[in-house]
Amino acid sequence: MYDVIVVGGSFAGLSAALHLARARRKVLLLDAGLPRNRFADEAHGLLGHDGRPPTAILRDARSQLLRYPTVEIRTGEASVVERIDDGFAVGLSSGAEARARRLVLATGVTDTLPPIPGLRERWGESVLHCPYCHGYEVRDLPLAVLAAHPMSPHQALLIPDWGPTTYFTQGEFEPEPAELQAFAARGVAIERTPIVALLGEAPGLDGVRLADGRELNVAAIFTAPRTAPTTPLAAMLGCEHEDGPTGPFIKIDQWGATSVDGVWAAGDAATPMHNATLAAAAGVLAGIGAHQAGVRAAPR
């Protein structure tokens, strides 16, 4: 019986596990090995790691975590979870089972991009989500915002700080009158004819082809994919969810506690704001919250 099982081995999960390990708790980290940012060659805006490959950051974090004798890491997908008398039982896709008194869910989200050929092949390279993470690397180039949900005009208002911007409504997400005024003030061009194809050899981007046959010069596209929980574990446990601009996320309090006693959540699965630094910070809070709850339940 572990004190805590942490499901998810990226920034949030590793951060939660580290703080639990430093509190000398017996921790199992389950890692499916598919971090959300695996498509990006470099991480940016992460203090002390700017420009490093995310895989290298996570590799070093795992190595540091394993220095603590109370930690175990298993590679595998957690496929089922249920409450038991003294905690929780987590079943892995391999058929193995692990039990713990408490859980931290750092399971992340899965991205669904707009259905345009070529977007997936360029994801993380020339098709991007976060300008704070990747905008500087495409600065001063012709940039596009591909509308994917009602918040897309807000994204388009940000991008001109990195380069000349065109907002593609895709014939669906027309800016409101106030947003149109802000577009004019920020120099954002609007294109209402949908993009139907991306040009150039992936993962690079030379331009886009529109439904009317025109081709426009574009070097990078920003878009916000639809997101969904990577695993059904939180739903299996009955954790409450909230609706975010791109998809549902687990409802938590300031310490990462979910609506289910004994379960915490952190990272992209538990917030509408997705960023490696924020995920790591949320992991700290969830790990400390899970530790302190254990202290209250059974003082050492």
Judge if 6 and 72 occupy the same domain.
yes
Alpha helices, DSSP H, located in 84-207: 119-122, 131-134, 152-158, 177-186
- What does the DSSP assignment read for 21-45? HHTT--EEEEE-S--GGGG-S---S
Judge if 52 and 77 occupy the same domain.
yes
Q: What is the pLDDT of residue 298?
A: 59
Judge if 118 and 138 occupy the same domain.
yes
Q: Give 202-237 pLDDT, tens digit per residue.
A: 999 999 999 999 999 999 999 999 999 999 999 999
Boundary of a domain, candidates 170, 199, 222:
222
For 207, the 3-state DSSP assignment is: strand
We report the CATH number of the domain holding residue 22 as 3.50.50.60
Judge if 103 and 139 occupy the same domain.
no
Q: Give 103-154 pLDDT, tens digit per residue.
A: 999 999 999 999 999 999 999 999 999 999 999 999 999 999 999 988 899 9
Boundary of a domain, candidates 222, 252, 281:
222
Judge if 72 and 159 occupy the same domain.
no
Q: Give 280-300 pLDDT, tens digit per residue.
A: 999 999 999 999 998 877 544
Judge if 105 and 129 occupy the same domain.
no
Domain that holds residue 156: 114-222
DSSP letter, residue 51: T
Q: Give 158-202 pLDDT, tens digit per residue.
A: 999 999 999 999 999 999 999 999 999 999 999 999 999 999 999
Q: Give 236-287 pLDDT, tens digit per residue.
A: 999 999 999 999 999 999 999 999 999 999 999 999 999 999 999 999 999 9
Q: What is the pLDDT of residue 300?
A: 43
| Type of residue numbered 230 | T
Which two tokens mark 111? Answer: 């991205």
Q: Give 44-79 pLDDT, tens digit per residue.
A: 989 899 999 999 999 999 999 999 999 999 999 999
Judge if 215 and 148 occupy the same domain.
yes
Judge if 23 and 61 occupy the same domain.
yes
DSSP letter, residue 175: P
CA distance 55 to 35: 9
Judge if 192 and 179 occupy the same domain.
yes
Q: Are strands 215-217 and 207-210 parallel, antiparallel or unpaired?
A: antiparallel
Q: What is the pLDDT of residue 149?
A: 87
The pTM (predicted TM-score) of the whole model is: 0.93
Q: What is the pLDDT of residue 39?
A: 85
Q: How many domains does the chain have?
A: 2
Judge if 93 and 156 occupy the same domain.
no
Boundary of a domain, candidates 194, 222, 250:
222
Which two tokens mark 247? Answer: 């998809």
Judge if 103 and 156 occupy the same domain.
no
Judge if 48 and 131 occupy the same domain.
no
